[in-house]
Amino acid sequence: MGNKFLNTDLFDKAMAFAIAAHHNTERRGKGFPYIIHPMEAVAIVSTLTSDQELLAAAALHDTVEDTDVTIGQIKEEFGEKIASLVASESDSVFEGLDESASWRQRKQAAIDRIAASSYEAKIVAMGDKLSNLRAIYNDYIVIGDKLWDRFHAPGGRDDHEWHYRGLASSLSDLRGTAAFSEFTSLLDKVFGGPRPELIDMADYKESGDGFTATSYSHKDGERMIKLYEPFIPSTEPKRELHVSQVLTRMGINIPKAYRMVTDGKRIGLEFERIKEKKSFARAISQAPEKMEQYVVDFAHMCLDLHKTECDTTVFAPAKERFLKAVAVSEDFDIDQKARITSFISSIPDTTTCLHGDMHIGNAIMAPSGKYWIDLSDFGYGNPLFDLGMFCFVSRGFGGEELMDKLFHISMAQMDQVWNIFLNEYFKDDPDKEAKAGMVMKIAALYAVFFMNRHTVYPGMREYVDEYLLNTITI
């Protein structure tokens, strides 16, 4: 029996066009015709779709970047959609970059373009990028780290690892497909697990000091880093990098996270530097007469976040965090643990996005917009968990000195901030009083959590007793 009829005119035309465009050219350093790479890209794309336009775009994806063919010609021959898909795959097509742009700037622009592109464009991109990564892997197992000398990247292996991990993040909408699984598997085979890159602190100037991390701005004005204090587990930067990449895909407004870094002692992350930014805490400290305006804006930022459905396949429920904290605590007996666990279980479940460390120090404002920062505890659950965190820090357990260090305002000012926030967040909510009472109890859960970290300030245990243990019976 013959094969089933399928009209392949468009794809056949695209293959013939690509063969002619790449005629007599070699795949760099491979010794075989260049067209083999587009053919492999097509084969990869065919595992993701049978759409003839996407297959055609995969065949044509390098014609504009590596031959004399123009986007105009592609559009004339194959139409607007295929031309747009090819343009999205052409690293020679940049907006806002000139010839002086560095290798990383150009690659970051390409990563950002893919991340912002359509699902169909990501399919075409996967064909190209997986084919490239297969070639890297095949060469790597033969010649090892000598491979990186073949490329133009100034940072060698580190630059390529940064690039391909960025591509994995930008293509993560394809998670669950065989192509994406192969891509991430090859990443680990070539580069191992993500590891921090050593940086020269002479290039940085301290710009912010928090309880868990210190921030530094790079001299180029475009980047900043956050280095965690030694008591923070080394897994936290890795988790925050992953979280930041997923949240960008979800549409949460955050500074872009680029890579893990180290100064040789501390580990942290490199981020996009948001220019002319200040935290809501800093803004309030500098203009206390505008406190109400800033707090109202922050409350609406929180409300918007709490209207967003979370990706529950990536993030964990907030309840898990507190159930674990209670289970491992050495500060409470069996009966007390049972009562706290009962309270946690009674909190209604939702799949709402939660910041996890929500307060006025972890949201920033700038001319370019408002952004969430410090996202390593991001998860999902009842929004009251986030309010509980803000309530906890507003109690000022560390006294005036710590309040000034973390939020640049006095305890009395923070009390004002909390009351303004609570009134705005629950504005017109008929259950305001009951929910506010629940928030006070959840704040005690954060005290339990931090007590596990041996971060105990006067009044914390008493707060747990007053607002949690003394109100719960089972």
Give the residue numbers annotated as catalytic, written as ranges. Answer: 65-66
Strand order in the sheet with 369-372: 278-279, 363-366, 369-372
Question: Which residue stretches of 227-333 are H helix?
Answer: 235-250, 280-286, 291-305, 318-328
Residue the block writes with tokens 């075409």: 124
**Contact yes or no for 133/183 (Cβ under 8 A):** yes
Rg (alpha carbons) of the chain, rounded to whole number: 26
For residue 141, with 0-12 CB atoms within 10 Å meaning exposed, 13-18 middle and 19 or more buried, which class applies?
A: exposed
Give, for all 474 residues of the chain, the pLDDT tens digit: 467 888 889 999 999 999 999 998 888 767 789 999 999 999 999 999 999 999 999 999 999 988 999 999 999 999 999 999 999 887 655 555 566 678 888 888 888 889 889 999 999 999 999 999 999 999 999 888 888 888 878 888 888 988 998 898 889 888 888 999 899 899 989 988 777 888 999 999 998 777 788 999 999 888 899 999 888 887 788 878 877 877 877 789 998 888 889 999 999 999 888 889 999 999 999 999 999 999 999 999 999 999 999 988 888 899 999 999 999 888 899 999 999 999 999 999 999 999 999 999 999 999 999 999 988 889 999 999 999 999 999 999 989 999 999 999 999 999 999 999 999 999 989 999 999 999 999 999 999 998 876 667 888 899 999 999 988 776
Spell out the domains of the chain, with CATH numbers in brackets: 9-191 (1.10.3210.10), 197-272 (3.30.200.20), 278-471 (3.90.1200)
Beta bridge partners of 209: 214
pTM here?
0.62
**From CA 133, how far away is CA 102, in angstroms rounded?**
22
Name residues whose C-beta falls within 8 Å of residue 299's C-beta, 6 or more positions apart in sequence.
Answer: 420, 421, 424, 425
For residue 115, with 0-12 CB atoms within 10 Å meaning exposed, 13-18 middle and 19 or more buried, which class applies?
A: buried
DSSP one-letter code for 427: T
